[in-house]
Structure 1
Amino acid sequence: MRALLNRALYEFVWWLFRPFNGLIRYRTAPHPLAESLKLDPAKPVVYVLANRSWVDYFVLERICKDMGLPKPNRTGSNFPTPERAGVVYMPALLETRVRNTELLQLIETGVATRSFDAQIVPVSIFWGRDPDKETSWFKLIFADSVQAGRVRKFFIMIANGRNVFANFAMPLSFREQMDKGPDSTTAIRKLIRALHFHFLRARTAALGPTLLRRQVVIESLLGSPVVQRAIEREAGTTLTLEKAQAYARKCAEEIAADYSTASIRFLERFLTVVVFKRVFSGIDVRGLERVREWAQQYEIVYMPAHRSHADYLLVSYSLYHAGLVPPHIAAGVNLNFWPVGGLLRRCGAFYMRRSFSGDRIYTAVFRAYVDSLIQRGYSIEFFPEGGRSRTGRLLAPKTGLLSMVVEAGLKQTTRKILLVPVYIGYDRCWEVGSYAKELRGAQKQKESAESLLKAGKILGKSYGKAYINFGEPIHLQDYADQKLPGWREYFAANAEGAPEGFKRFVNDLALENARRINEAAVANPTGLAAVALLSSPQRVVSQDEFVEQIGHLIWLLKGNPYSEHQYIPETAPRTIVESSLPIARIARVPHAWGDLFGIAARDAVALTYNRNNIQHLFAIPSLIANLFRTRLLLSDEVIVTGVRALYPFLRTEFFLRWATDETESVTRRWIEVMVQLGLLTREGERLRRPDAGDPAYSTLAMLGRVLGETLERYCMTALLLAEERRTHQELKRERFEEDCRLMAERMAILTGRDAPEFFDKALFRGYLNTLIEIGLVTKTGEQGLQVDARIERIAERSQELLSDESRQMLLQLLSRRKQPESTPAQRGGPA
């Protein structure tokens, strides 16, 4: 009788649900669903739902129908078959642990039947994306909950039916799981426990930890010991106790996010309909499935490259679409303007000043806030570079915020921290025009409502695709075990400050993250076209040569991949050429012997940004090609020696992944790939470059020019240091870096290069740091430098890597740089 009533109630609910079925809007993960699950059609499927809910079952039924998956059926006392998939509720499985049920008997029968196997697919269905939160009665009624009864579930369906997310886990083999245990009872218990923890972790990954009201967060910050100590130190010096407390509250109000899933949903729809659909032809995301797995086991800290204001929008947008909770994002306080500031704050942004300037109270409040995010298990995102790259290269990382995150992560013991590097790239970055102006000396435009309105003009232009690639993560605690001995004991003792070597550890961690970002580089069509075109004489190339050179670049990357996470979206050279023409503004010039492609000087500056995104991928083969600039034949050993001499500088500038002691093996691998592609040939014990009439010679020359400007800067630095050493005058670092910049600027003007990045002072600072690290330059005092005699030989040899024109110009600039400008009278003219 009970079964009959239950069946009648089920039929009634099913008919009641039918009018709403067509109105429900859902998303699924992974994507594409059927291809990702890879279900075996010869084996039965058993879906395991997290909650005992007929509504969840109806939604699962619709999703399976839409996606071409086996249709679920209520299991009852029947075994699932390949033609009839089954459904089990997790609460029913948990019930088998305390009493004997019909379901337990069915499972035990399956265990005993050795020929039986099934594919177990855990499915979590979320109505809305709200985590638990202390809030209004409306939320208490309409927010999804694992404790919701049938009546409340009806209201939840009404309120959130257009925002349903279904998370499918990878299938488990029933037979494999049963064979793991010593007996059937133990195996069943282990499987149920594993499923239970999976659903808990899946819920945390999709919704995040419980949210506290912003005012509660602020009060907890003000009451934290670190903030109280800072207030006490400042009180009685420049501030009264009341003023110090008021200032601390002001800092907390300025910093703290006000996370709202409703705002995130609004921004997601706005970006989808108004912005991304008009600006980008697509958003290509790689590695999301791995992130979904990590999010169920770790607390994630995302550390992306920073190239555009679109970066943080794209990362959160992509994570939300994949069914993951968007992170709390460290944003510059310059973005806290109306109306953007409040919206971003409600979407998880917490604001930080560019400089803390010795402000103890602000520093303490900010540190306490970072600690609270880590302690409560929220994912975080921040940009280690500290600002957007104006050149397209990764900037040297800043370690202030990273230091706080690392310290907070190592102190807590609840959950392991995973640092995830994220490569972000664009076919065309929408700020590239303003970057070029800033590099020429223009003032950076302050973010404001007015600038936001002006930025609306990008909506009428096409910027190609955006690319996101999640790289190889760093397990913080494991990395600290290797690089920071004694950290566990130090933090376990609740000692103040940081353990010995902590600063160096954080610096190494920041550099490792930068290298892993570059490991995940995306060689997109515009980037490949930029490498080939900008490395051609006068920035003009014939169509056949253009296609051939891009093909060689692709085969170089395929022949010796930079890393397993490197990604090439398009591998057909002609398609790459055609797709990059309108985005990169490459002009096609018809000609009877074949079309030519070229780019104007102004557009070439913008295109260098794309080249610089992936220039590091070709650094070693380009250096090898340059060694053949003045020589026809070279031995492998000479090439290895030449690369080894310059590799430390390349590694610093491009954040290359290989350690210095790997230089030889890496170089030899590149040599073999270049031989296989016909860019070099073996002639006895030596390597030979192609003859000038050979098409391969053109590609080798192009490849050499990829590092042309970089090698000119290296040579410039060495020549200036050698000249300074001969003068026996005191060498001051700041003046020397400025001399390098001025010399590069003058060379750029004289050669007609419209490339402000060529004389970027930060690059020369990096070269000097590398020279100090390898012992060719020694610090003397606070700003003084002492140059080793070996620099003269290096300056001489470095000229061999340059063209005759560049070498002659550098020597002329060097000989004239200290000559005082004569007056008209001294020249014999009128005074």
Structure 2
Amino acid sequence: MIQGALFWLCWLLSRPLMWWLHFRTTPEQLPAELDIETDKPVCYVLPERSWLDLFALQRICQMRGLPVPKRIGMKLPSADTATFLYLPILLRPERDTDALEALFGEAQSYRGYDVQLVPVSLFWGRQPDKETSLFRILFSDSVGAGRLHKLFIALFNGRNLLAQFSVRVSLREFMAETPRPRHTMRKLARVFHIHFLRVRTATLGPRLVRRPVLIDGILRTSAVRNAIDSEIASSKKDAAAVRKRARRIANEIAANYSTTTLSFLERLMTPVFNRIFRGIDVRNLERVRQLAQTHEIVFTASHRSHLDYLLISYVLYRAGIVPPHIAAGVNLNFWPIGGLLRRGGAFYIRRSIKGDALYTAIFRAYVDMLIARGYSISFYPEGGRSRTGRLLRPKTGLMAMITESALRQRARKVAVVPIYVGYDRVPEGATYARELRGAQKQKESAQGLLKATKVLTKSFGKPYIAFGEPLRLQEFADQQLLGWRDGFGSSAAPVRPDGFNALVSALAQEIMRRINRAAVASPVAVTSVALLAAPQKAVAASDLHAQVALLLRLLQVQPYDPEVALPLTDAAQTLDWAIPIARLSRIPHDWGDILLAEGKQATLLTYYRNNIQHLFAVPSLIASFFRTQAEVPEQQVLDAAEALYPFLRTEFFLRWPDAQSRKILSDTIQRMVELGLLERDGDALVRPDITSAMFPALSMLSRVMGETLERYCMTAVMLSAEARKGPIERKKFEEHCRSLAERIAVLTGRMAPEFFDRALFQGYLDTLIELTLISETEEGAIRVGDNIDELARSALALLSPEAQQTILQLTAHRQPYATPQEQSV
């Protein structure tokens, strides 16, 4: 009786605090996402005894439309009356063993009776444990806090409460597996205990170490001490000066992770994102929440804007998942943003560390520490922001360090989570276009940050963040590198096993493919694909509607991957969203309005097209065979497309291995026939009649990959012309290809700066080497094989007569190319 009176007194006194409470729930859409059945009782399970937690839960349930838990004593809940259960009662039920066992027995005796058990974790302030911090001892949420301590915690953190509701569990299922009530209680206790521990780890992360302690620990590692001794011996510098430099490097690198700063940034960025975006489209977040409970996570995202890392951490934090430590370029370490990002989890890396053994050792030790302590990490495999909108070739330096550290430690499983990041309109779009045209990249600075505030006056549609299929690192290593578990040396003398570099290379390629598999076909991107395929970047509004509808339909009847998302599936809604954001011009006409992209805007649209161009690579390749031919034998299409597929796979990180390409090509042809884009006439494929509605759609689709095929063609034609002149210096040849592409772009009014991106020609030559069509000498020269002439003819056949003429004329009248032998004369 006294306990009950005290409870109600505390309930009454807590009312002002409950009204002051500010909370967030995961999932956000309650009660829909919990899928609670209204005809069955509900019992919330709380991880610890706390009246304040219960009062807060009652307030949350009331405001979110969930059944409100009540005290019902040792009675079974009904469909009309929800209740609650503290986990400690199940863990240590000695005091109430008989009564609780009788209650479970009573529930078991009623046939068909079931209770929906809903685990709920409450986090006041979301502060992880931190070593030797008096502030957190007094005010941070902690397991087992007393009533007075809990009051301090609630008063200080009441405006930052996270309530995490987990999937409901059926009591009847537990009772069916363990017939005896006491066994049911014990099993429930074990399951929920492990569940709450995992949820706490995923939400708060591991214990934080004070930054000075962390830096001292790094400098004391044997690998760093050896590197310091080596530099002292090799440079003959003063030992104190070398140690001072080592500490300066560690201070430059290390993050100063602060959950208080994360909370501040979340509150700061919410109104900013609400102002410039029309919401944030997030996909597959629940898989990350579940994975974080069992794995240490390495996030690998496409890099398209400086907003990427802010958005990813923001989305994770609001979802109740601890944000990662983020690898950032040291160029961002400027006042005032550098320190703020550092406290938000950024650790800095120089653009080039080659040749600096001491820096490499310290950075490697820092990465080892992050992995060993269980911190999640985020980095960008591309190394920098993509100026073209397509994925760049991955850089493997940091990836190799993280992979080695992850495989060395055996205590935790590590999963790599690829993230696709896209935008309806990227804030740096105009800057990217200028840089691709030759403008010098502006160094990040406080002055540039002030100029960037003008984005607050603009609208950028939506950002799209899709978490792709996780890659479990240890399992991937088992498949790619047998015996890797016995192949590493000690931490003092690290030795990578044979084949480790090949493992990292395969990992990098697989990550990029999984990023592309998680692509979001946004309205602006789909509209850009259709509009930029028009010869003059202008098309009748009705035709654009039909072509967008076809692209959407194509993604539905033969999706590139089940992970690919379509925010809108209706062509009219897609265009209504995209036209104002893409700033398309509309020209009224008696026969129907015309939509076009003018000047710089057409260049910017290539960026968004490139985000999802890989989704249409295979159907566009097939459609290209019908640009100049009305009928082609199906076998010929398959043979020629299969020969070109490896180049597309390399450039666009397509998901299917070369060995599966023929089946994918055959399936795509079948889908195109079903859609009316192609017709069958015996063994031949026939394009639609020129007067039919599908003819312009097929023409549009054939031009989606037009620029890519032109690059392949010009490179093959130039290689064919040089084949009989002996070895060709590779770097000079790549520059020659880039110059030719740039000239074609100028002469044809091409609005796609990536058309003459040197990196694309590098990838093309790499693929030719893999296919043994060319070879590379140790001196970096290229030797051309005999089959290059056939490849050049096949590539030319896919182009329009105008494109064929331009390439042949320019290659025939180009400036003479000097071979290595001629250059030495």
Pick one of 372, 376, 394 that aligns with 1:375: 372
Q: C-alpha deviations, 1:488-507, integer Å up to 9, x for none?
A: 12248777311110001001
The 8 Å contact of residues 205 and 325 in structure 1, kept in 2 or not, is answered as yes
Match of 2:81 in 1: 84
**Structure 1 residues 444-465: Cα deviation after superposition (integer angstroms, max 9, x where no partner):** 0000000000001111011110
Aligned to 2:680: 682
Mapping of residues 280-291 of structure 1, within 5 Å: 280-291=277-288
Q: Does structure 1 residue 347 correspond to structure 2 residue 344? A: yes
Q: Distance in 1 between matches of 2:418 and 2:695?
A: 37
> Contact (CA 8 Å) 2:90, 2:188: kept in 1 or not?
no
**Residue in structure 1 matched with residue 695 of structure 2 by the alignment:** 697
Mark the CA change 1:199 to 1:86 in structure 2 (over 3 Å): closer, same or farther: same
Letter of the aligned partner of 2:250 in structure 1?
A
8 Å contact kept, 1:72–1:84: yes
Taking the TM superposition and a 5 Å limit, the aligned residue runs for 1:714-729 are: 714-726=712-724, 728-729=725-726
Q: Following the alignment from structure 1 to structure 2, what is the Cα–Cα distance between the partners of residues 586 and 308?
A: 23
Measure, in 2, the Cα distance between the counterparts of 1:677 and 1:638: 21
Deviation at 1:80, TM superposition (A): 1.2
1:80-134 deviation line (CA, Å, top 9, x unaligned): 1111112001111111279725334322432444432111110000111110113
Matching residue of 2:202? 205
Amino acid in structure 1 at the alignment position of 2:570: A
Match of 2:820 in 1: none
The answer as to 2:5 corresponding to 1:8 is yes
CA distance in 2, matches of 1:672, 1:654: 23
The match for 2:530 is: 532
State the match for 1:825 in structure 2: none
- Give the Cα separation in 1 of the matches to 2:528 and 2:570: 16
Would you say the 8 A contact 2:257–2:344 is kept in 1?
yes
Alignment check: 8 A CA contact 1:34 1:68 kept: yes
Q: Summarize deviations over 1:7-58 as a string: whole Å, max 9, x none.
A: 1001100100111222101000012121111011122111101121111111
Asked whether 1:220 is paired with 2:217, we answer yes
Separation of aligned partners in 2, 1:10 and 1:111:
30
CA distance in structure 2 between the partners assigned to 1:809 and 1:507 by the alignment:
37
CA distance in 2, matches of 1:415, 1:107: 37
Pairwise CA distance, 1:785: 1.1
TM-score between both structures, scaled by the size of structure 1: 0.96
Q: Distance in 1 between matches of 2:153 and 2:568?
A: 44
Match of 1:452 in 2: 449
- Residue of structure 2 equivalent to 1:744: 741
Q: Find the counterpart in structure 2 of residue 543 from structure 1.
A: 541
2:201, 2:591 → 1: CA distance?
Answer: 63
Distance in 2 separating the partners of 1:709 and 1:62: 59
Q: Does 1:137 align with 2:134?
A: yes
Question: What letter corresponds to residue 285 of structure 2 in structure 1?
Answer: L
Question: Equivalent pairs: percent with the same residue?
Answer: 52
Equivalent positions of 1:26-425 (< 5 A) are: 26-96=23-93, 100-181=97-178, 183-238=180-235, 239-273=237-271, 275-425=272-422
**1:528 counterpart letter in structure 2:** V
Q: CA deviation at 1:537?
A: 1.8
Amino acid at match of 1:509: L
Partner of 1:620: 618
Which is worse superposed, 747-756 or 98-107? Answer: 98-107
Deviates more, 1:232-241 or 1:542-551: 232-241
For 2:666, the aligned partner's letter is R
Alpha-carbon distance in structure 1 between the residues aligned to 2:514 and 2:505: 14
| 633-642 or 766-775, which deviates more | 633-642
1:593 to 591, 594, 611: 591
Q: Deviations over 1:684-731 (max 9, x none)?
A: 3322110111110000000000000000000001000000013x2331
Q: Is the 8 A contact 1:532 1:546 kept in 2?
A: yes
The list of structure 1 runs, each at least 4 consecutive aligned residues, that deviate by more than 4 angstroms after superposition, is 492-495
Worse overlay, 663-672 or 333-342: 663-672
Which of the numbers 441, 447, 472 marks the counterpart of 2:438? Answer: 441
Deviations along 1:520-545, whole A, 9 cap, x unmatched?
Answer: 00000000010000001200001110
SS at match of 2:45: strand
Secondary structure in 1 matching 2:567: coil
Structure 2 CA distance, aligned partners of 1:186 and 1:639? 66
- 8 Å contact kept, 1:74–1:88: no
Do the aligned partners of 1:75 and 1:88 also contact (CA within 8 Å) in 2? no
Q: Point out where structure 1 has 5 or more consecutive residues left out of the alignment.
A: 821-831
TM-score by length of 2: 0.97
CA displacement 1:149-175 (0-9 Å, x = unmatched):
111111111101110000011011112
SS at match of 1:385: coil
One-letter amino acid of the structure 1 residue matched with residue 615 of structure 2: L
In 1, Cα distance between equivalents of 2:461 and 2:711? 32
User: Does the CA-based 8 Å contact 1:420-1:472 persist in structure 2?
Assistant: yes
Tell me which of 618, 638, 641 is aligned to 1:643: 641
Give, as a single letter, the amino acid of the residue that structure 2 aligns with 1:388. Answer: R
Residues of 2 paired with 1:60 and 1:107: CA distance?
24
- Offset from partner CA, 1:421-470 (integer Å, 9 cap, x none): 00000000000111111111111000000000000111101111000000
Say which of 730, 735, 738 aligns to 2:732.
Answer: 735
Deviation at 1:745, TM superposition (A): 0.7
- How far has the Cα of 1:74 moved from its partner? 2.2
Unaligned runs of 5+ in 2: 818-825
Please report how far the alpha carbon of residue 179 of structure 1 lies from its aligned counterpart in structure 2 after TM superposition: 2.5
Conserved 8 A contact 1:178-1:188: no
- Does residue 509 of structure 1 match 2:487? no
Give the corresponding residue for 2:766: 769
Q: Do structure 1's residue 574 and structure 2's residue 576 form an aligned pair?
A: no
- In the other structure, the counterpart of 1:520 is 518
Does the CA contact (< 8 Å) of 2:489 and 2:495 recur in 1? no
Query: 1 CA distance for matches of 2:123 and 2:320?
Result: 10
Task: Choose from 702, 709, 714 the match for 1:711.
Answer: 709
Q: 1:634 to 1:314 in 2, by over 3 A?
A: same
Q: C-alpha distance in 2, partners of 1:469/1:777?
A: 38
1:828 is matched with which residue?
none
Letter in 2 for 1:292: R
Q: Distance in 2 between matches of 1:177 and 1:248?
A: 57
Distance 2:219 2:111 in 1: 62
Secondary structure, aligned partner of 1:33: coil
The equivalent of 1:827 in structure 2 is none
One-letter amino acid of the structure 1 residue matched with residue 693 of structure 2:
P
Secondary structure of the 1:88 match is strand
Q: Secondary structure at the match of 1:237?
A: helix
State the aligned residue count: 815
The aligned residue for residue 760 of structure 1 is 757
- Which secondary structure state, in structure 2, belongs to the residue aligned with residue 282 of structure 1? coil
Paired with 1:361 and 1:571, the residues of 2 have a C-alpha distance of: 54
CA contact (8 A) 1:45 1:120 kept: yes
Question: Could you tell me how far apart the structure 2 residues matched to 1:124 and 1:534 are?
Answer: 50
More divergent stretch after superposition (179-188 vs 498-507): 179-188
For 2:415 and 2:578, locate their aligned partners in 1 and report how far apart those are by CA, in whole Å: 36
Residue by residue, what CA displacement relative to the aligned partner does 1:218-254 show, whole Å, maximum 9, x if unpaired?
0100001111111111112212322221111111111
Match of 2:561 in 1: 563
1:380-425 per-residue CA deviation (whole Å, 9 max, x = no partner) reads 1000100000000000001111111111111111110010000000
Query: 1:206 offset after TM fit, Å?
Result: 0.8
Q: Distance in 1 between matches of 2:211 and 2:95?
A: 41
